[in-house]
Amino acid sequence: MARTSTPSPPRSSSRGHDDAAITTGRAVIAIIALSVGGFAIGTTEFMTMGVLPQIAESLGVSEPEAGHAISAYALGVVVGVPVLSILGARLPRKGLLLGLMGAYGLFNLVSAVATSYQMFTLARFFDGMPHGAYFGVASLVAAGLVQPQFRGRAVAGVLLGLSIANVIGVPASTWMGQIYGWRSTYLLAAGISALTVVLVMIFVPRTPRDRHANGLAEAKDFFRRRQVWLTMGAGAVGFGGLFAIYSYIATTVTDVGGLAASTVPIFLLAFGLGMTVGTWLAGELARWSIRKSLLLGSAGSAVVMVLFWVVIPAGWWALPVLFLVTAVSSILVTNLQLRLMDVAGDAVTLGAAMNHASLNLANALGAWTGGLVITAGLGYRTPSLVGAAMALLGAAILLFAFRLEDNQPASTRSGRSR
């Protein structure tokens, strides 16, 4: 492992708030305000799956065709991260957060009033664009509010909103959509976005404009870095293993586990709880070692995914194992974000945001590879083994990245990753 050196942080990652002596209590409140935005985004991203049949019927398309709107959102995330990070490089971070969440709420509102499938799909694309940029900027702001040794905990606090959304926001919005119609779910998401704008405006400290930032130059430097591509690759492949399982969990529970369809929401709840616990745990482990946490999350994911393959025919015994699968895999999210912030050079905003682009690719890659083995006739248990293989491949990419970094001259190594 690399030496635990702590050189001065890059220019763009330095503390940017006016009140350098911000109290712990104010920092906690500010991070909670930022996490409400994560809750809004997490609820919005996954609630579409729960009301997709109603959307398809209302807009006069098939359910698979309506599902393209989900892909449009993911594409918006991938496109939005570099574009908005470059355009917003010189903007005050608080102002950028307000703009991003304001746009997020606006396009949720447009989604709610869409009169055609084309209008709805286009609104979902534009709604996805602020997703990664918001998390990237919010993570940097949160990390700047605390002492360096607590930055993992601060970033995990922001991402905790995304995890809690899977426990509360997604089930609640799905229930609401079934009773009051699918449009009500997007009105709810717009309302939570508006609440985030108010909370950020009140509780998040002001940040100065970085007049020397050059978003395009920073992006060129960022995408030339080998460690950046290796870290994003590890995220897209390693975390994709979780989605190889999650994408087909409903049929796996009923057809392989022999349980009733009414039990599927309980397994989804276990998924959300596991994500919440894993995100909290990631923040604690980051204080120990970002590198070791990433390897532990990757290797541990492979082990519990194989265990899930073993126990799923036993029905209810698979429930606690699914919780473990999600909890261990979720360790990667926070620590991959910290790793990207460390290897990004001056483009720390872009580094923090690109993690979410890579995780959206993980979603697509996991669902695709899991679907391949199912289509090949290997059954709904097999995606668990595919997921385990992907997790191990992610660990191998990380090991390769760390070996390359350790062989570099000390002066060129990434900052605080350890």
Q: Are residues 306 and 188 in the same domain?
A: no
Q: Are residues 205 and 223 in the same domain?
A: no
How many angstroms separate the CA atoms of 150 and 137, rounded? 17
Please indicate, yes or no, if residue 220 is contained in any of the structural domains: yes
How many domains is the chain partitioned into structurally? 2
Instruction: Provide the sign of the torsion angle of the four alpha carbons 23, 338, 14, 405, taken in this order.
Output: positive
* Contacting residues for 39 by C-beta, under 8 A, at least 6 apart: 161, 162, 164, 165, 169, 192
Q: Are residues 326 and 383 in the same domain?
A: yes
Please indicate, yes or no, if residue 3 is contained in any of the structural domains: no
Please indicate, yes or no, if residue 179 is contained in any of the structural domains: yes
Is 96 within 8 Å of 137 (Cβ atoms)?
A: yes
Range 258-291 burial, b when 16+ CB lie within 10 A, else e: ebeeebbeebbbbbbbbbbbbbbbbbebbeebbb
Among 195, 211, 227, identify where a domain stops: 211
| Predicted confidence pLDDT, tens digits, the chain (418 residues) | 333 333 334 443 434 444 433 567 888 899 999 999 999 998 998 788 778 778 888 999 886 678 778 778 888 888 888 888 778 767 888 999 999 999 999 999 999 999 999 999 999 999 999 998 898 889 888 888 888 778 778 888 888 888 788 788 888 887 888 789 999 999 999 999 999 999 999 999 887 666 666 667 777 778 888 888 998 899 889 888 888 887 777 778 888 888 887 777 788 788 888 888 888 888 888 888 888 889 988 999 999 999 999 999 998 999 999 999 999 988 888 888 888 878 877 777 777 778 878 887 887 788 788 888 888 888 889 889 999 999 999 999 999 999 988 887 655 555 555 6
Domain range for 293 is 214-413
Copy the structure tokens of residue 264. 């599927």
Q: Are residues 220 and 315 in the same domain?
A: yes
Please indicate, yes or no, if residue 99 is contained in any of the structural domains: yes
Is 273 within 8 Å of 330 (Cβ atoms)?
A: no
Q: Are residues 196 and 235 in the same domain?
A: no
Q: Are residues 77 and 142 in the same domain?
A: yes
Please indicate, yes or no, if residue 8 is contained in any of the structural domains: no
Among 181, 211, 241, identify where a domain stops: 211
Q: Are residues 143 and 48 in the same domain?
A: yes
Q: Are residues 122 and 222 in the same domain?
A: no
Which residue's structure tokens are 């969440």?
A: 101
- CATH of residue 97's domain is 1.20.1250.20
Q: Are residues 101 and 144 in the same domain?
A: yes
How many angstroms separate the CA atoms of 123 and 42, rounded? 17
Please indicate, yes or no, if residue 182 is contained in any of the structural domains: yes
